[in-house]
Amino acid sequence: MRKLTYFIACSIDGFIGDPKGDATSTYAYVAGEFLEYLKSEYPETVAAPAWPVLGIEPGTEIRRFDTAIQGLNSYRIGLDVGITSPYSHLRELVATRSLGESPDPNVELIADDLVGRVRELKAEESPLDIWLCGGSTIAGELIDEIDELIIKTYPQVFGSGMPMFGAGFEPRDFELGAVRAFDNGVLVRTYTRKR
């Protein structure tokens, strides 16, 4: 069975963006050694329009994920500047009840039963996993389906903002795996759900 991995960037204090979800203050850290790590280990998590800018070659091997799921707020970042399929090299799904029709043939909209759709995706035969790429609300909705957390912690404190999980209080246990620190202060931690 495929894994659902929440591969997400956050501040030291656990926020993925300001109260509206804006995390542009962290972009300066996507450089140097950390950028090379992303390009070599997780190239598919870089939006397709950024590939030529960052030196990722067309046809670069997809290493971990073949499917990306995000909420409308995350998707809207690209949509507002005319990018209808930000991860066109992956199968894209957007959880939304407000978009009536997909603006791109590569983007599947999920209006109802997000958990059921994710379970269908996890049951598919594929050597690659599913990337939950953003959205506090959908991360909260899918919290019990998440098998792995990969948290890119940027050396900033936001003070308040959008939490990693928009869910009620209920402790869930994960086991720490790999930890990697980068020269610019970014820390990447991997956790696996304890069953």
State the DSSP code for 103. S
Residue 150 CA to residue 144 CA, distance in Å, equals: 16
What does the pLDDT look like over 133-181, one tens digit per residue? 988 999 999 999 999 999 999 999 999 999 999 999 999 999 999 999 9
Of 149, 151, 156, the residue nearest 185 (C-alpha): 156
The pTM assigned to this predicted structure is: 0.95
Angle at 62 between CA 58 and CA 67, to 5 degrees: 115
What CATH number has the domain bearing residue 99? 3.40.430.10
- If phi > 0 it is left, if psi is from -120 to 50 it is alpha, else beta; for residue 59 that is left
State the DSSP code for 59. T
State the DSSP code for 130. E
- The total domain count for the chain is 1
Containing structural domain, residue 110? 4-193
Residue with tokens 């983007």: 107
Of 42, 35, 6, 25, the residue nearest 118 (C-alpha): 6
What does the pLDDT look like over 36-66, one tens digit per residue? 999 999 999 999 999 999 999 988 999 999 9
